[in-house]
Chains A and B, each alone.
Chain A
């Protein structure tokens, strides 16, 4: 069982990213969510950056 707080932060972030990506009909929402879950520190800023770039 993973109990580390960062796992839960990443998990919540991944769920939010998945929902947001689906709502915005972004490409590959599941891939974004997985990337955020597994490499939060890089994937979350990257998602936010592309989100802003695509929807200024």
Chain B
């Protein structure tokens, strides 16, 4: 017998109990392991700090009467168009009273801790409408709320973790069809849920509309008797979408206005598509096998947070078994078809196998169309996981013996349990004293080096007392006028930091003067008797060679001020700097030359020739100043 509450109030209590259970489970799983001294944030890398910054930005901008969708606090002097950034504006405005009282960092941590439970609860509600079985629905909530997709994005993507509104929209449609809701009631609920989702993630709002249409098409094709119900829902759904568009019209208008300038910063769909082998190979966020297979799965495109397609072979086999043996059940047929479609589209424009493109894939035409090209296919796995969770609930609730089914599912879910190291993904953010002790005058334009994607956290901790010149991580992309500088990648992209010592000092001085940088903070271990990290030492030395003056060092940072005479470069100087090779490219060129010299020596040794004239010929004709004798 399915576990089903006897009355409406009992059902309500069951639902609230399920919410509390899922929230408690999320908290128990992700709560900080020890009382780390603040500030500590949930997640890793720069993404969480950009969300904390955004949660703080919207109330800050409203309080200080600043333009909401353009900020000069990052990438100064050009600033940043925020309309196309993952700015979680809806969440930020709803949470503003709490942000003002407790701070954005506390609000961010709370939202991230609540995200798996809330999202799981949405799936629970939808599954309950389908199955009317509390235990099966709770299982669906667990599968969705703690799915590989969710666990990946819980590494730092607030906008993709708080997905409650998506299963909630599905629940509203199912409930409307089942209980005969009025058009107005469905439209109101859908309108509010869709508007909320847009405020959390514009991308998920758009994909929700697309996948909602695909779900309806799948239902239409695979279960003809449901066509009449679909037709009855159509007015309510249309009105709901229309209502959300009306509520969101100011935001959509800002996005359309900033389309040309802002949409370029969205990552490439080909890079953020799921790998074909990702369905069966666990990534490092998975406990069983994730670590051993990391050398293979590191070849996947995008990053670990985005590889949300790991189902595990046992679960895939179970799903195939369910789809085959229960295909007579319309819900199973439709959900299996929809999950397969979502997985297919998540492959992106090209099929990838261990990161290598091996074929075209169905998302190819969409990946070149306006707006659609801004969606990252790997994130379509959200819909696949939702369908999988509901499919499992329907199977668990189907007539027959339940314990073997739960046991079989539990055995399959063991393979997607998260890794032990992952469930403690809290990061401490020590704030160098220079940002808060008044050494930097309010309103200054500063640069924080070496780049470590934590500058947004420093700026937030300092209460936005300073703006960041030519830097500020709010997602991918940088203003083209900054990125064209040859020193840009060595200075601001972490993987090119080895080239820092090769930056031309006059070019750096010109760069800093051109953008009116008033101070540079070099972070690192500058305590007496300690040796700062190579990147910090390289930046400090480079600044001194560029004529900048040390203005005081703390244990965790050193402050530099510009020289007294610091004119910006004229047009001819600028043009000359732009023609210079990039420092990281110079490094590559040197390695290439070294390889050629080694190859010539090897060839001479193998053929018994004298290498000296060969090298002399090469040096004279290919690279005259090449110090051949110095290459060992």
Q: What is A's interface to B at a CB cutoff of 8 Å?
A: 1-2, 4, 6-7, 10, 37-42
Contact = CB atoms under 8 A, between A and B. Distances in A.
Contact of B350 (A4, A37, A42): A4
A41 B351 contact: yes
B359 A2 contact: no
A55 to B, nearest CB: 25
A19 B361 CA distance: 22
Contacts of B344: 39
B364 interface: yes
B368 A2 contact: yes
Nearest to B367: A2
Nearest to A13: B360
Given A7-B364, A42-B359, 12 more contacts: A1-B368, A4-B270, A6-B357, A6-B358, A10-B359, A38-B360, A38-B362, A39-B359, A39-B362, A40-B360, A41-B358, A41-B360
A42 B351 CA distance: 10
B365 interface: yes
Nearest to B357: A6
- Chain B interface size, as a band, is 10 to 19
22 contacts: A1-B368, A2-B364, A4-B270, A4-B349, A4-B350, A4-B357, A6-B358, A6-B359, A6-B360, A7-B360, A7-B364, A10-B359, A10-B360, A38-B360, A38-B362, A38-B364, A38-B365, A39-B344, A39-B351, A39-B361, A39-B362, A41-B360
Contacts of B360: 6-7, 10, 37-41
Interface in B120-164: none
B365 A6 contact: no
Nearest to B344: A39
B359 A41 contact: yes
Nearest to A36: B360
B contact face: mostly helix, strand, loop, or mixed: mixed
Interface in B361-415: 361-362, 364-365, 368
B629 to A, nearest CB: 43
A46 B314 CA distance: 26
Nearest to B353: A41
A37 B350 CA distance: 11
A38 B363 CA distance: 8
B361 A38 contact: yes
> Lowest 8 A-B CB distances belong to which pairs?
A41-B359, A10-B360, A40-B359, A38-B362, A40-B360, A41-B351, A6-B360, A39-B362
Contacts of A6: 350, 357-360
Nearest to B362: A38
B372 to A, nearest CB: 14
Contacts of B361: 38-39
A38 B365 CA distance: 8
Nearest to A2: B368
A1 B368 CA distance: 8
B235 to A, nearest CB: 33
Nearest to B358: A41
B168 to A, nearest CB: 32
Contacts of B368: 1-2
A4 B360 CA distance: 9
A47 to B, nearest CB: 14
A17 B361 CA distance: 17
A15 to B, nearest CB: 14
Contacts of A2: 364, 368
A2 B357 CA distance: 14
Contacts of A1: 368
A35 B23 CA distance: 44
A37 B359 CA distance: 9
Contacts of A40: 359-360
Nearest to A35: B362
Interface string B30-59: 000000000000000000000000000000
A7 B360 CA distance: 6
Contacts of A38: 360-362, 364-365
A43 to B, nearest CB: 9
